């Protein structure tokens, strides 16, 4: 077995050997795009539900769908064969749908994409718009959190049952910072100011929630299950992974500080909104990849951008 390959499992390994593969950084990046794109679709559907900014909502849904396509490309690239992705998906649906989060996640992603397509391009009558938006929001929330439940169902001690909350708050802060980037499509200055102010508050609350949830998650990870994850928590806070972890924290703090200090300039300066999204997105990207890869720090010190593989599921 090569040094870059580390075994993990989802309880009993029910997939036959022919259906198994290995995770690399591309799978972690795919999970980042899945959560972020799903939450962009969630917020775009919410704006569509409100009915105040249809053009912004339509553009947001298009961006979210592009993110889902990127996620699918990364997953298939990681598996190395589109047919293998199809076989994993079908095998999970037909054989063990009720006992694995993986096929459920694929199902949620497909339904989210269909719901967003119907809402954005298939609805002609306004009476159907709110039900379609509700469906997009529901599946957006499920896609955002499913990967946390999937990882928490493994043998890795760090990935405890509170991980979905981490993924939810991280994705919400990224999406909340992204929507104001599209505010230039709103012609009315007063409406633009109200939208930017609303999402400024949402992003600040999301970033603060992410910090609190991270602290709670790390504390519980270090104390649950006999403290098996404590060496990994130590590595994140002050060991070999600390540089990446604190870089993500500092990027998030920089985004929060910029939001707090630049509130009056956010509406009139698109570059300011773009900078806040870049900081928030970079922080969330590092955290997502780091959480996935730190889960098997027990086996070796790893870099978020190193060559690392992990058996699934």
Q: What is the pLDDT of residue 7?
A: 40
Q: What is the pLDDT of residue 212?
A: 94
Q: What is the pLDDT of residue 15?
A: 47
pLDDT in tens, 140-156: 999 998 888 877 777 67
Q: What is the pLDDT of residue 97?
A: 54
Q: What is the pLDDT of residue 223?
A: 80
Domain ranges of the chain: 18-153, 157-304
- Return the bridge partners of 237, or none: none
Q: What is the pLDDT of residue 308?
A: 42
Q: What is the pLDDT of residue 300?
A: 40
Q: Which class is 18-153 in CATH? A: mainly alpha
Q: What is the pLDDT of residue 51?
A: 83
Q: Which class is 157-304 in CATH? A: mainly alpha
Q: What is the pLDDT of residue 296?
A: 61
Counting as low any pLDDT under 50, the low residues of the chain are 1-22, 299-313
pLDDT in tens, 59-107: 999 999 999 999 988 878 876 667 666 666 666 555 555 556 777 788 8
């Amino acid at each position: 077995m090569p040094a870059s390959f580390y075994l993990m499992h989802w309880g009993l390994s029910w997939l036959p050997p022919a259906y198994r593969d290995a995770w690399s950084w591309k799978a972690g990046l795919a999970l980042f795009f899945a959560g972020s794109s799903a939450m962009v679709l969630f917020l775009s559907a919410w704006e569509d539900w409100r009915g105040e900014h249809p053009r912004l909502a339509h553009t947001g849904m298009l961006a979210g769908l592009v993110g889902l396509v990127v996620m699918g490309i990364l997953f298939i690239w990681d598996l190395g064969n589109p047919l293998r992705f199809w076989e994993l998906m079908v095998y999970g649906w037909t054989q063990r749908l009720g006992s694995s989060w993986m096929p459920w996640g694929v199902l949620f992603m497909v339904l989210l994409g269909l719901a967003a397509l119907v809402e954005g391009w298939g609805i002609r009558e306004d009476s159907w718009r709110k039900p379609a938006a509700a469906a997009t929001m529901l599946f957006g929330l499920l896609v955002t959190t499913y990967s946390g439940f999937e990882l928490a169902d493994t043998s890795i001690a760090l990935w405890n049952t509170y991980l979905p909350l981490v993924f939810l708050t991280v994705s919400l802060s990224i999406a909340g910072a992204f929507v104001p980037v599209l505010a230039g499509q709103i012609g009315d200055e007063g409406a633009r100011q109200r939208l930017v102010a609303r999402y400024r508050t949402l992003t600040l609350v999301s970033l603060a929630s992410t910090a609190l949830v991270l602290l709670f998650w790390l504390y519980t990870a270090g104390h649950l299950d006999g403290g098996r994850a404590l060496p990994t928590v130590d590595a994140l806070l002050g060991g070999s992974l600390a540089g990446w972890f604190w870089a993500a924290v500092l990027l998030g703090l920089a985004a929060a500080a910029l939001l707090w200090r630049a509130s009056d300039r956010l509406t009139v300066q698109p570059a300011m909104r773009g900078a806040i999204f870049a900081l928030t997105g970079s922080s969330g990207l590092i955290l997502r990849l780091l959480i996935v890869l730190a889960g098997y720090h027990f086996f070796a010190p790893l870099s978020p951008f190193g060559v690392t593989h992990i058996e699934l599921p």
